[in-house]
Amino acid sequence: MAPRVYITRRLPQPALELVAAACDVAVWDQDEPVPRDVLLAAARSADGLLTMLSDRIDGELLDAAPGLKVVANMAVGYDNVDLAELRRRGVILTNTPDVLTATTADMAWTLMLAAARRLVEGHKLIEAGGWQSWSPGFMTGHDVSGATLGVVGAGRIGGAVLRRGRGFDMALRYHNRSRSPELEQQTGAQFLPLDALLAEADFVVVAAPLTAQTRGLFGAREFALMKPTAVFVNVARGPIVQEAALYQALRAGRPWAAGLDVFEREPIGADHPLLGLPNLVAAPHLGSATVSTRLKMATTAARNLVAVVTGGAPLNPV
């Protein structure tokens, strides 16, 4: 009998075909998250699940899925998964590293440039009919070229953000759990303690995973350490930042601006307080959102799922 798997979202066709060739597959064929009760019911008879970062994989779900062998999460991050609960039951977790590194690093740069050069504010101003003339002090921002870039969390994505900084003649700094001699050698980036990085950087980019150590890492104290001209960017996970503290800090103008791809509770609505601030550029968690990268993520997750349920080894075990 073919292994039974459940996929929690509509996937690109090649990824779906890959799974269907080896498994008895059911899909929540929508662009919205699968309702919890549907997921719990589907998990009951599943050998494998292909999940999204918006699906909570916890003890309750695992209790409902006695035959489960693998959770193939279609993301590099896996803070939606209770890893301890999985390990206790011997269920394998896989993720999708590497394939989204460049795309997510590009997103960090999109936000850096947009926030520093007031792109969204300028667009809104034109839309509102508020563009009067060219003038020396009109909508001036801050230079990216030649500035100091500080990356917090220098794994694959953080490293790629730093490498791009070389093309902009930036001074490169990073903070990480551990130093990376390889990264330092490749990029010339200098390791700094977090507080020193915050005080020195013109651009602070967060690319760290969400863990017990990084949850709430950026609060009022950290924002107060930044330069009044600094731009703060988060492409990692929303809960790393205390959003209420960021709101107050941006209102007070320190940091000078921010670009966020992620939020404490996603999705956010039009009434989110941060959206009322002119010095905030927001994106709806688009870090990996290109056609080609999403296809690679889906096929990577699909390959991991199939490998485990057919008795093989996972390609990207967490």
Whether 285 sits among the annotated catalytic residues: the reply is yes
Quote the DSSP letter at residue 226. Answer: S
Residue from 118, 164, 237, 303 carrying the catalytic annotation? 237
Q: Is 81 in the site for ligand DGY (CB under 6 A)?
A: no
Q: Is 161 in the site for ligand DGY (CB under 6 A)?
A: no
Question: Which residues are within 8 A (CB) of 128 and not within 5 positions of it... i.e. 6 or more apart?
Answer: none
Q: Is 100 in the site for ligand DGY (CB under 6 A)?
A: yes
Name the minimum Å distance from CB 108 to ligand DGY.
12
Quote the DSSP letter at residue 12. Answer: -
Of 15-23, 27-35, 71-79, 190-198, the window that binds ligand DGY (rule: CB under 6 A) is: 71-79
Among 76, 208, 240, 257, binds ligand DGY (CB under 6 A): 76
Exposure of 307 in the CB half-sphere (CA atoms within 13 A): 17
State both tokens at 180: 């990376």
Distances (CA, A) of 242 to 203, 217, 246: 18, 8, 6
Alpha-carbon gap, residue 86 to 93, rounded angstroms: 8
Of 72-80, 126-134, 242-250, 306-314, the window that binds ligand DGY (rule: CB under 6 A) is: 72-80
Of 6-14, 70-78, 112-120, 122-130, the window that binds ligand DGY (rule: CB under 6 A) is: 70-78
Of 8-16, 63-71, 74-82, 170-178, the window that binds ligand DGY (rule: CB under 6 A) is: 74-82
Strands 92-94 and 190-191: unpaired
Please list the residues that pair with 49 across neighbouring strands: 6, 71
Name the minimum Å distance from CB 145 to ligand DGY.
28
What's the CA dihedral at 167, 172, 177, 183 to 10 degrees? 50
Whether 89 sits among the annotated catalytic residues: the reply is no
- Residue 57 or 76 with smaller CB distance to ligand DGY: 76
Alpha-carbon gap, residue 113 to 288, rounded angstroms: 18
Whether 175 sits among the annotated catalytic residues: the reply is no
* Nearest alpha carbon to residue 306 among 8, 15, 1, 10: 15
Q: Is 288 in the site for ligand DGY (CB under 6 A)?
A: yes
State both tokens at 291: 């056609």
Among 3, 48, 77, 165, binds ligand DGY (CB under 6 A): 77
Catalytic residues: 237, 266, 285
Residues at the interface with ligand DGY (CB under 6 A): 53, 75-77, 100, 287-288
